[in-house]
Amino acid sequence: MSAHLPAASTGHGHFDGSAALQTIPLLPRNAVLSLLHGYRATISHAYGDVCKYYPSCSAYAVGAVQQHGALKGSVMAAARIARCHPWAKGGVDDVPLHTNFRYDLTPRGFVVPVPLRKD
Amino acid sequence: MPDLIGIILWPLKWLVELVLVAWHALFTAIGLAPAEGITWVLAIVGLVLVVRSALIPLFVKQIKSQRKMMEIAPELRKVQAKYKGKKDQLSREAMSRETMGLYKKHGTSPVSGCLPLLVQMPVFFALFSVLNGVQTIKTDPDHTGVGLLSNELMTEFYNAKLFGVASLHDTLIGAWEAQAPGWQVTVGILLVLVVLMIVSQFFTQLQIISKNLSPEAKTGQAYQMQKIMLYVLPFAFVFSGVFFPLGVVIYWFTSNVWTMVQQFVVIRNLPTPGSEAAKLREERLARKGKALDATGKIIPMEKYQAEQQRLFEEAERARAATPKRQQPIGKQRAKKQAQKQPGDGGPKSGGSADPAAGAAS
């Protein structure tokens, strides 16, 4: 049930060739995101629902890496997994959003730069 | 990277060795030959007992939590009804949020969290690397464990033979290829263990799925997945049975037997509320003249019936206390009745032509 990504983790952005240079700093987080999407599509399914929170730990990891990058996002995800123990209360626990998030999200949950010319 | 994994595993390996050596010392003290295969096999069985006993509190916590789920079932059904048939992302998200909020409010959850899954992996790796590490004696005669498993003990473990022929470090495929004297016994033992593991795994899962699932759990995708896993998972043991050494297979087999017995006890005595097993338990209790009260305690039948009677009366009283809904009357008719009232007086007789009497019945 909690296997899907929350709406805050998907968007309508798409990769634009003109912004290829701006994607380079986004490579690490998109690499981690592809690992997470792979995990969520396979291993997550086999385990079924085990998480005490919404969004689930893996969905939280996706959100954290999208918002805060590969490094900080991974640390936040690890902290979340540590919180997800049998004696935890559980409940709704969303990723704290980045104060000024300057990128777009694709429908699949990858991070792309905002297109330069919008008019 | 291997160093990091080694650092994480080190304390776990140390503990595994401690338990293994302690059991070995115990069995030696009560008169078993220290270098015999059976002594080391029993030490492995002892290791299983320690590891699985340590996991019991977690298991009990899980079951208690499941029991509490019954109390919130009505509220849960309300949430499910609210979002019935709504399959879009936002509705599903809102439903998940409400469900999780409900669990938190009542301090219960059907799941135990993500951390236990992650913790189990290194524990198993540590076990495997200790039991498997004994094999390195072959290439490195001076090899020692990280803790109490000294070189002498390890060599003894390495050379120990079950029934005088089957080495604990032999794998099925290795024994088949080497064809050392008595290899048929090793292959035979391993085959029997693998078949028993497959059977016990299948039987345990079948028991859970057929008897211990609540009606709610039997709907949805997770249930379909479980049914598929019932037939797929046991065959993972074919792989382990072929490539893992006899010592590891014995560990796994014993652990499986433990799971089976534990599940049997739980299904019999602490079944999931609302499941088939719960009904069977109530029937068993009823035959003995006992019943379960609202908190899940066993009480005598008379007391149970008295309680049910009391609850029924309470509900009846509550129903009587709430005012009955008045049939709405049209403006015209209300006026007519008000005019009639002074002359009419008492209750209307059944034979009157008043249309209001027909509408009220």
Q: What is the pLDDT of residues B242-297, one digit of tens each?
A: 888 888 888 888 888 888 898 888 888 878 777 888 888 888 888 887 777 766 67
A91 touches chain B (CB under 8 A): yes
Q: Does one domain contain both B155 and B303?
A: no
More reliable by pLDDT, B218 or A36: A36
Q: How many residues are recorded in chain B?
A: 361
Question: For B130-182, what is each residue's pLDDT tens digit?
Answer: 777 777 777 777 777 777 777 788 788 887 777 777 777 778 887 788 777 77
Among chain B residues, the shortest Cα distance to A107 is held by B89
Range of the domain at B308: 288-320
The answer to whether residue B103 is domain-embedded is: no
Chain A residue at shortest CA distance from B99 = A91
Question: B76, B114, B232: best mutation site toward chain A, by most A Cβ within 10 Å?
Answer: B114
| Residues B276, B210 contacting (CB under 8 angstroms) | yes
**Per-residue model confidence (pLDDT) at position A77:** 93
If pLDDT is split at 50, 70 and 90, which confidence band does B82 have? Answer: confident
Which of A2, A10, A93, A108 would best serve as a mutation to test chain B binding (most B beta carbons within 10 A)?
A2
Residues B274 and B295 in one domain: no
Average pLDDT over residues B342-360: 46
Cα end-to-end span (Å), chain B? 82
Place of tokens 């001076």: B142
Which pair of tokens denotes residue B149?
């498993």
Note whether residue A70 is domain-resident. Answer: yes
Mean predicted lDDT score pLDDT of chain B: 79
Return the amino acid letter for B153. Answer: L
* Residue A4 pLDDT > 90: no
Q: Does A7 touch chain B (CB under 8 A)?
A: yes
Residues B126 and B193 in one domain: yes
Q: Name the pLDDT band for B327 (thresholds 50, 70, 90).
A: confident
- Residues on chain B touching A48 (C-beta within 8 angstroms): 222, 225-226
Does residue B352 lie within any of the structural domains? Answer: no
Same domain, yes or no, for B270 and B244?
Answer: yes
pLDDT band at B197 (very low <50, low <70, confident <90, very high): confident
Q: Residue B80 to residues A53, B65, B85, B87, B102: CA-CA distances in angstroms?
A: 18, 20, 9, 12, 12
Among B158, B186, B154, residue whose Cα is nearest residue B173? B186
Q: Which of A52, A82, A86 sits opposite B61 (nearest CB)?
A: A86
Which helix (H) or strand (E) element contains residue A71? helix A57-83
Instruction: Find where tokens 């008043």 sit.
Output: B354
pLDDT tens figures, A36-48: 998 888 777 766 6
Q: What is the mean pLDDT of residues B332-346?
A: 71
The verdict on A12 touching B (C-beta cutoff 8 Å) is: no
What confidence score (pLDDT) does residue A76 get? 94
Calculated CA dihedral for residues B173, B174, B177, B179, nearest 10 degrees? -120
B314 and B199 in a common domain: no
Share of chain B above pLDDT 90, in %: 1
User: Does residue B76 lie within any of the structural domains?
Assistant: no
Pair (B217, B296) in one structural domain:
no
Report yes or no: B261 and B267 within 8 Å, Cβ to Cβ: no
Domain that holds residue A59: 29-99
* Residues B58-77 pLDDT 10s: 888 877 777 777 678 788 88
Distance separating alpha carbons of residues B255 and B24, to the nearest angstrom:
18
Tokens coding B5:
């994994």
Q: What is the 3-state secondary structure (H, E, C) of chain B?
A: CHHHHHHHHHHHHHHHHHHHHHHHHHHHHCCCCCCCHHHHHHHHHHHHHHHHHHCHHHHHHHHHHHHHHCCCHHHHHHHHHHCCCCCCHHHHHHHHHHHHHHHHHHCCCCCCCCHHHHHHHHHHHHHHHHHHHHHHHCCCCCCCCCCCCCHHHHHHHHHCEECCCEECCCCHHHHHHHCCCCHHHHHHHHHHHHHHHHHHHHHHHHHHHHHCCCCCCCCCHHHHHHHHHHHHHHHHHHHHHHHCCHHHHHHHHHHHHHHHHHHHHHHHHCCCCCCHHHHHHHHHHHHCCEEECCCCCEEEHHHHHHHHHHHHHHHHHHHHHCCCCCCCCCHHHHHHHHHHHHHHCCCCCCCCCCHHHHHHC
User: A103 by DSSP, 3-state: which?
Assistant: strand
Residue B95 contacts residue B79 (beta carbons within 8 Å): yes
Between CA B104 and CA B32 the distance in angstroms is 53
Residues B202 and B308 in one domain: no
Domains identified in chain B, total number: 2
Residue A1 reports pLDDT greater than 50: no
Question: In this predicted complex, what is the ipTM?
Answer: 0.81
- Judge whether B356 and B337 are in contact, CB under 8 Å: yes
- The owner of tokens 């050379």 is B159
> Which of B219, B253, B279 marks a domain boundary?
B279
One-letter amino acid for residue B226 of the chain: Q
Q: What domain count does chain A have?
A: 1
Q: Are residues B293 and B198 in the same domain?
A: no
| Averaged pLDDT, B311-328 | 83
- Asked if the structure places residue A116 within a domain, the reply is no
B294 and B255, same domain (yes or no): no
Instruction: Please tell me whether residues B153 and B252 are part of one structural domain.
Output: yes
Angle formed by the axes of helices B37-54 and B56-69, nearest 10°: 40
Same domain for B170 and B313? Answer: no
Closest by CA position to B130, among listed B245, B30, B232, B239: B245
Q: Is residue B345 part of a domain?
A: no
Spell out the SS3 assignment of B43-86.
HHHHHHHHHHHHCHHHHHHHHHHHHHHCCCHHHHHHHHHHCCCC
pLDDT at residue B51, as a whole number: 84
In a domain, A77, yes or no: yes
Q: Name chain A contacts of B68, Cβ cutoff 8 Å.
A: none
pLDDT at residue B193 greater than cutoff 60: yes
B238 with B292, same domain: the answer is: no
Cα separation, A46 vs B226, in Å, equals 9
State the pLDDT at residue B356.
45
